[in-house]
A and B are shown apart, each in its own frame.
Chain A
Amino acid sequence: MSPLAVDILKMTGEHVLIVLVAVAVAILIGIPLAIWCTRHKAASRIVLRIIDAIQTIPSLALFGFLIPVPFIGGIGMRTAIVALILYSLLPIVRNTFTGIRGVDPVVRDAGIALGLTRRQLLLQVELPLAMPTIVAGVRIATVVGIGVATIAAAVGGGGLGTFIFRGVAMVDTRLILAGALPAAALALIADVLLSTVERMLVFD
């Protein structure tokens, strides 16, 4: 294998790692947060507004803002992951919230009337029925995350963006493509895989 091919593989691996870790953490924070939001209507508006606002920060600026932040910021992969977590929260929280709120009230009512506890209602009725919508949120977070992660190279985050930034600086199209093509391929693969999961979870 040529040295470039080895590099591409290594950076692709890094890229996947950044996105996987970020989306996983966003799921762990986002789904409980969304569940909490479905039960606290007034507070949920504020939470959702804040998460919306984060999404409007240009990604390059967000990476920049994070550099001076102690513990979570700085130069390197950690900053990239933190920024991606923040971006991934929106689709995951929004979709989980919408998915749970979208459960047929008659079905929810029946669950309560059958004597399900609140926890059983959530785990046995609301979450399973919201699951296709939640997975759609994870899919959007992942696909967008793969794109945004290329910019992480600007703060030394590693990943396929490293080639793109280097290629832009050296006006080397080949190098830009070495980053852009694998990133596009990753996004397509993630989209297809998660769309399949999504379809498998629809019960009708």
Chain B
Amino acid sequence: MASSIELREVRVDAPGGEPILRDVALRIPAGQSVAFIGRSGAGKTTSLRLINGLVAPTRGEVLVDDKPLRETDLIALRRRTGYIIQGSGLFPHRTVFENIATIPRLLGWDAARTREAAAEVMNRVGMPFEKFAERRPRSLSGGEQQRVGIARAMVASPSILLCDEPFGALDPIVRRELQDAFRALGSDATIVFVTHDLAEALRVAERVVLFDGGRVVVDAPSRDFVQQKSPLVRQFVASATLPAGWQ
């Protein structure tokens, strides 16, 4: 079951500086895939981290399934939220299988169910269980680590999938492969995908939200995004290598 997400007039202050977010209001219906784009420091990552409670709003409210996070068990919410980040964040002291089994174990699944789910999700991300289960993250390439990161986030069928520049550190070819692998997963979760790459945003999401200076400046369906009149959109379009048919 996918979850709906809402940021209600959210402000996030930085200690002793300009606010990171100013009055962001955003509603993401259950099952939608949204890309947050913007330059560094625009507020997209902070907005993402509000959703699983890694950042708390100074003012305003964050709601998941119409329930304020203040009244939500954050630990339980995080266990049904996939989180995929740049550099994968895999536990270096654990094998690939143990990494992927993190949430199933926290949820108290039995060994057989955990193993079955891990094998299934590993196959889906192109990392055969027999070949990779007992490897340690450091013995994998960056692209492989990121695939394991995706598998770890997806194994327990999350209702929300938060992706923070997951493919940012990869070379263009691997990046493209992973974007395709990610799309092929066909998750029915609500997806929020942070990236500074417009082409990537359009590839993975049906809706694009552009952040600038801690505000949402454009919020449009992917198909219409490049048509937007905002000068910042023009800049992003100019600097992106868009897939055919998007210009």
Contact = CB atoms under 8 A, between A and B. Distances in A.
A complexed with B: yes
Interface string B137-167: 0100000000000001000000000100000
A111 B54 contact: no
A203 B79 contact: no
B54 A115 contact: no
18 contacts: A104-B92, A106-B85, A106-B87, A106-B89, A110-B89, A113-B52, A113-B85, A114-B79, A114-B106, A115-B76, A115-B79, A115-B103, A115-B106, A116-B102, A120-B106, A129-B92, A129-B93, A203-B92
Contacts of B89: 104, 106-107, 109-110, 113
B236 interface: no
B173 interface: no
Interface size class for chain B? 20 to 34
Interface in A80-129: 104, 106-107, 109-117, 120, 124-125, 128-129
Given A114-B106, A115-B78, A203 B54 contact: no
B75 A115 contact: yes
Given A107-B90, A110-B90, A115-B103, 5 more contacts: A107-B92, A113-B81, A114-B83, A114-B103, A114-B152
Contacts of A109: 54, 85, 89
B78 A114 contact: yes
A201 B83 CA distance: 28
Contacts of B106: 114-116, 120
A66 B218 CA distance: 71
Nearest to A105: B89
A134 to B, nearest CB: 13
Q: Which residue, of B83, B92, B152, has the highest number of chain A Cβ atoms within 10 A?
A: B92
Interface string B57-100: 00000000000000000011111010101111111110000000
Contacts of B77: 115
A116 B79 CA distance: 8
B124 interface: no
Contacts of B39: none
B136 interface: yes
Interface in B83-132: 83, 85-93, 102-103, 106
A131 to B, nearest CB: 9
Given A107-B92, A129-B92, A113 B54 contact: yes
B164 to A, nearest CB: 9
A204 B90 contact: no
Interface of A: 104, 106-107, 109-117, 120, 124-125, 128-129, 203-204
A107 B136 CA distance: 14
B107 to A, nearest CB: 9
* 5 closest A-B pairs by CB: A110-B89, A115-B79, A115-B78, A113-B83, A203-B93
B91 A107 contact: yes
A117 B78 contact: no
Contacts of B138: 203-204
Contact of A117 (B52, B75, B85, B90): B75
Nearest to B139: A204
B136 A203 contact: yes
Nearest to B102: A114
Contacts of A116: 102, 106
A150 to B, nearest CB: 38
A154 B20 CA distance: 63
Contacts of B79: 114-115
A106 B86 CA distance: 9
A133 to B, nearest CB: 13
Given A106-B87, A113-B83, A128 B93 contact: yes
B87 to A, nearest CB: 5
A115 B124 CA distance: 23
Contact of A110 (B75, B85, B136): B85
A114 B90 CA distance: 11
A111 B91 contact: yes
Interface string B40-68: 00000000000010100000000000000
